[in-house]
Chains A and B, each alone.
Chain A
């Protein structure tokens, strides 16, 4: 029998793990839709216009799932973690409120945007409506991430005898973890969306559809994919430096760095023996951890020996860290290769290497699920890495979970719900796009093929 705390964590994990797929798409998609419409308007290119329209159509369906699972997590915070909400609610009420306002703003304009495609005489007016959607989606990601950042580096209050006093809500919101977390969440959301959309275009090209519409879609998403890959790598590095300074135990657990030392080496891969703490089959890169943590090869990196054993995060987060970095690197390499080949071909070189060759398209297609997987891994690393704390340094996760009965039944209930929603969303999306392929729509709009 699983105990109450494990059940509570499992239920939250399942809800959030499912929600963040749609939340990530929700944060990133509006920018892509808006940019495609912008290019369509500026270049008077109906292909981009159709791209924006079709993405928006799929987006509505993912938003629907994002909204309902978001409602779930909002209420589950109270149902599953009442002890936490009782203490922290006084401090995180502000960003939670602001997040809802941002989402409300987005929801209103999304409704307006989706139902006014052909309604304005001036098409730019319709494009302008996409801007509040971007502001709303990025805004809600920002505010909700500050809540999570607060749980990692709490500040802006004093805790005395179980009650929080002397609250400074703005200080709590703009805590040390906020900048790097927000930046990483946003850049990885945009990166994920670019590869998910690239996957769709690559899929059609892979199936030997040669319409220029798909080529434009692939080009657009891969170029953005490169930009966000670079941004994401840079910001990921900043996050490492942040951890070294503010949450050294998370970095140390993720890197199996047991002893505080200078010129620390980075451990890649490997298997850990949990009892002896011996690492096997790992590749050790000298100095790399010091560089990652402090920016210089001979810096001292704090190890787990500085922390009592009962405050260590679980050591399995190393696998998630490596997987996240590995998949992120894959995405970076693929997008670099794509852009290099494109540039070379523009100059008349590498012409024998056709960009639409099937193995390469398959590699791009793999980027979609890989990006989502990397995002999940990074999230698991960040969340499990602050165990045993729910509020680092103040409140342990075990003190916050609900005491109510029937948690196992609720777990089953929600697993069934998400399984149903998952099947539903995939079926609906496939049906939607199969029924009206872009060739058909282009023809219906009298766009010359």
Chain B
């Protein structure tokens, strides 16, 4: 395999990791707020808090990994996106910061404050929407590149149906992933009420998610027919994604095996996400930049891959420990020991 192919896979794996962990986090924020509005917060907030407290620092790391992978493997791509996305990127960053800093607040009673919950919940929807837009611009037509001059065409972005469909797809997906995970977590905690409510949230968001997926598919056909053709070539991945979705949906309807259901939800997004990514190639920014613009230095590539493998050897056991202690540990999940 060529270096830039490995690079693109590493970047994509981290972005997928971010998609899952950040969705759980963003969705949880929204559910907290929504439950408070509908006076059901006492049912689910304990579950949300117990899961998020020990793991929130980890979420941002996936995003940074993705950014650094792009910088080190595809510096030219970093240049173009860096210039084009100064404004939307900075706004997304500010939202992420405000939200991240709220965790500092959250441990000291702020969770009961409705303004806090509002900011926390709404940012949980704005951030995925703005991050999804960063993805949309890779389809071409939204960034003008003339030599060193790069510009984001905001007007085109706002008028494009495709970009709006992607935003809605991001929102429904976030809520769906989050609700599926949290209903599983509540189930492990033997918290029947929370599990039921979260299962309901998962069901509410399941059909919109799949609806917007199809919609995105067909708007892309108008926006970037070339990409659409390549997607059809690997349609099996998207069919597999749909299959996983149906399995998860069936399990939720029958109220069983929430853990398995969540795995199928993850598979559903994995197939769709990697299918999308694969069909996006060879372009990283259509039609200006292809994957060929990536790293050329063998030595750097080898060092990065060595660092990557070394890092994973360190991370996987530690992540396993984290999950053993806080997710798969019935004692913690149910009663919650410790300060």
A residues with CB within 8 A of B: 53, 60-61, 63-65, 67-72, 74-83, 85-87, 89-94, 96-98, 100-101, 103-105, 107-112, 114-119, 132, 165-170, 402-404, 406-407, 409-410, 413-414, 417, 420-421, 424-425, 428, 431-432, 435
Contact = CB atoms under 8 A, between A and B. Distances in A.
B75 A94 contact: no
Contact of B97 (A61, A71, A93, A167): A71
B72 A94 contact: yes
Nearest to B326: A115
B68 A403 contact: no
Interface in B70-111: 71-73, 75-76, 78-87, 89-91, 93-94, 96-98, 100-101, 103-105, 107-108
Contact of A94 (B55, B61, B94, B307): B307
B202 to A, nearest CB: 26
Contacts of B93: 71-72, 75-76
A61 B295 CA distance: 39
A420 to B, nearest CB: 7
Given A101-B307, A111-B57, 16 more contacts: A64-B104, A67-B57, A72-B97, A78-B89, A85-B75, A85-B79, A93-B300, A94-B303, A97-B69, A97-B304, A100-B61, A104-B311, A119-B325, A165-B297, A413-B94, A414-B90
B300 A91 contact: yes
Interface stretch (B166-174, B180-188, B203-211, B312-320): B312-320
Q: Which of B82, B94, B310 lies at the interface centre, i.e. has the most chain A CB atoms within 10 A of its CB?
A: B82
A97 B84 contact: no
Nearest to A110: B57
A168 B94 CA distance: 36
Contact of A63 (B57, B105, B314, B322): B57
Given A86-B76, A96-B72, A167-B300, A410 B61 contact: no
B263 interface: no
Contacts of B192: none
Lowest 8 A-B CB distances belong to which pairs? A93-B72, A82-B82, A89-B75, A101-B311, A111-B54, A64-B104, A107-B57, A86-B79
Contacts of B105: 424, 428
B295 to A, nearest CB: 7
26 contacts: A64-B101, A67-B100, A71-B96, A78-B81, A81-B82, A82-B79, A82-B80, A86-B75, A86-B79, A89-B75, A90-B297, A97-B65, A97-B304, A98-B311, A100-B65, A107-B58, A111-B326, A112-B322, A112-B325, A169-B300, A404-B150, A407-B86, A414-B94, A417-B98, A420-B98, A432-B108
Given A64-B104, A98-B311, A115 B339 contact: yes
Contact of B82 (A97, A168, A402, A407): A402
The contact size tier of chain B is: 35 or more
A385 to B, nearest CB: 26
Contact of B107 (A60, A68, A85, A413): A60
Nearest to A143: B307
Nearest to A89: B75
B246 interface: no
B107 A93 contact: no
Contacts of B79: 82-83, 85-86
Contacts of B60: 67-68, 71
A97 B98 CA distance: 25
Nearest to A427: B105
B308 interface: yes
Given A89-B78, A403-B83, A97 B68 contact: yes
A78 B90 CA distance: 11
Q: Which of B98, B108, B321 lies at the interface centre, i.e. has the most chain A CB atoms within 10 A of its CB?
A: B108
A421 B85 contact: no
Contact of A78 (B58, B67, B101, B149): B67
Given A82-B83, A410-B87, A97 B308 contact: yes
A74 B338 contact: no
A37 to B, nearest CB: 14
B75 A116 contact: no
Nearest to A64: B104
Contacts of A103: 61, 64
A79 B318 CA distance: 32
B300 A94 contact: yes
Contacts of B58: 104, 107-108, 111
Contact of A101 (B107, B151, B314, B337): B314
Nearest to A169: B303
B322 A65 contact: no
Contacts of B94: 413-414, 417
A46 to B, nearest CB: 15
B78 A64 contact: no
A126 to B, nearest CB: 10
Contacts of B83: 82, 402-404
Contacts of A168: 299
